[in-house]
Structure 1
Amino acid sequence: MPTRALVFDFDGTLADTESAVLQSWRELFLDHGVELPMEAWYAVIGTQHTTPAMFALLAEHVPGIDPEALRPKSKARVYELLDELGPRDGVRTYLETAKQHGLKLAVASSSSGAWVNPHLERLGIAPYFDAVLTGDLHKAKPDPDLYLAALAALGTTAAETIAFEDTPHGVTSAKAAGLTCVAVPNAITESLDFGQADVVLPSFTAKPLEALLTH
């Protein structure tokens, strides 16, 4: 069946926001004399539970800590790190090619709309997307709800749609909704198991979009 639509995860896929977020958490933990265990990060990456999980873990190591008091500083540091961030290499070419082929495009992210939409605007890629589905309105990954909502918003079927993800949780979500899934891990997630993905690419520059489309 011909490809009619593409659905992209946001954090770590369209832009490497996860590196900035991880760095901010590492710095926060070190500020309190604790090293952030990477296995704890990998357990929640790509879900909606990162922030509460990290604060809960920090509280285990530093009794009496007030997560709410730390939240503004943590958030400010993330935005400071993200200030110079652009889309991942090859992303804009994929989006341009998709539009040339008349494909519909959506974002499906476990993050909130308040996080995703301003970043899409700042990165200059918001106009490419016909729909943006976020975790404040839908069940977060690995639940398939975000992808099912994306299909409904675009008016396409799973068989006509390709998902792009950077985490195993995201791949699980896309596959549970019936989509073909292309994993494009980043520096943080490249060591994880992407056995569920239909295709794994080291970057968006490794293969042209046309090579992934069915006609």
Structure 2
Amino acid sequence: MIRAIVFDFDGLILDTEEPVYRSWLEVYEAHGEELPFERWIQTVGSTTTGFHPQHHLEERLGRPLPKDVLDRRLGRRTEMILANAVLPGVVQHLDAARERGLELGVASSSTQEWVRGHLARLGILDRFRCVRCRDDVAHAKPEPDLYLAVLDCLGVLATEAIAIEDSPNGVAAAKRAGMRCVAVPNSITARLDMSQADLVLNSLAEVSMAELLERVSASA
């Protein structure tokens, strides 16, 4: 029996991934350089340890980026993120989960400050009993640490929880933790392989919680 739903944050609850990518793309284009998407995508749902856009561009240019360029990039990122609302279907699923008595958690490769700050701003932080982020564990996604930490916090088994993700790194983390996983790709991850997921949706808004649970159970 499913007792808990664990959400990713970036790109699933709030579209932060497109603004982060676009803000760096603008910097690269302004300097006549190409941002390699195939390397960028490795960081989605994980961290920038494998590819750091600032360091990569500075290596290409042979000089550090000025502080004003970096500050403008952060300003553009923030501007675009603040213009976005909670992604379609998220609030409806949070409401439905509460009605069913399901526990709710967040497992994110971002920081606690980032995730809790945005969840609070969006008015949904109190919906989640447990929020675990990269500063809470030894390894971010695609390792299972974040999901294992949330499962422990919620007091449920991996077989009693469903993860909802938007990236291959996130799906891999959930599966390594022994969970079933629903993938909901966004504009950045739509072209990537989500075949590890038990169910792939175009949007959370296209199914009810009852249908999601039924379809995931049927795929087991």
For residue 171 of structure 2, what is the aligned residue in structure 1? 171
How far the C-alpha of 1:151 sits from its partner, in A, is 0.2
- Asked whether the equivalents of residues 41 and 50 of structure 1 are also in contact (C-alpha less than 8 Å), the reply is no
Single out whichever of 197-206 and 76-85 deviates more from structure 2: 76-85
TM-score normalised over the length of structure 1: 0.94
Distance 1:148 1:68, change over 3 A: farther
Query: Which residue number in structure 2 is paired with residue 31 of structure 1?
Result: 30
Which residue is equivalent to 1:142?
A: 142
Asked whether the 8 Å contact 1:55–1:67 carries over to 2, the reply is no
d(CA) in 2 for partners of 1:193, 1:141: 16
Match of 1:109 in 2: 108
RMSD: 1.8
Which residue of structure 1 aligns with residue 90 of structure 2? Answer: 91
Deviations along 1:87-135, whole A, 9 cap, x unmatched? 1111100000000001100110000011111100111211110011001
Aligned length: 214
Instruction: Give % identity.
Output: 44
Is the 1:24–1:78 contact (alpha carbons within 8 Å) kept by the matching residues of 2? Answer: yes
List runs of 5+ in structure 1 lacking aligned partners. Answer: none
Q: TM-score, normalised by structure 2?
A: 0.92
Q: Which residue number in structure 1 is paired with residue 190 of structure 2?
A: 190
- AA partner of residue 13 (structure 2): L
The whole-number CA distance in structure 2 between the counterparts of 1:11 and 1:125 is 14
Inter-partner Cα distance in structure 2 for 1:121 and 1:190: 27
Cα distance in 1 between the residues matched to 2:154 and 2:136? 17
Superposed, which structure 2 residues align to 1:17-166 within 5 Å?
A: 17-49=16-48, 53-66=52-65, 70-138=69-137, 139-166=139-166
Q: Could you tell me which amino acid in structure 2 is paired with residue 195 of structure 1?
A: S
Corresponding residue number in structure 2 for 1:212: 212
**Residue deviations 1:53-98, cap 9 Å, x none?**
1112212221112476754332222111111211111110000000
- Aligned with 2:204: secondary structure? coil
Residues 143-198 of structure 1, C-alpha deviations (whole Å, 9 max, x = no match): 10000000001000000000000000000000000010000001111110001101
Which blocks of at least 5 consecutive residues in structure 2 are unaligned? none
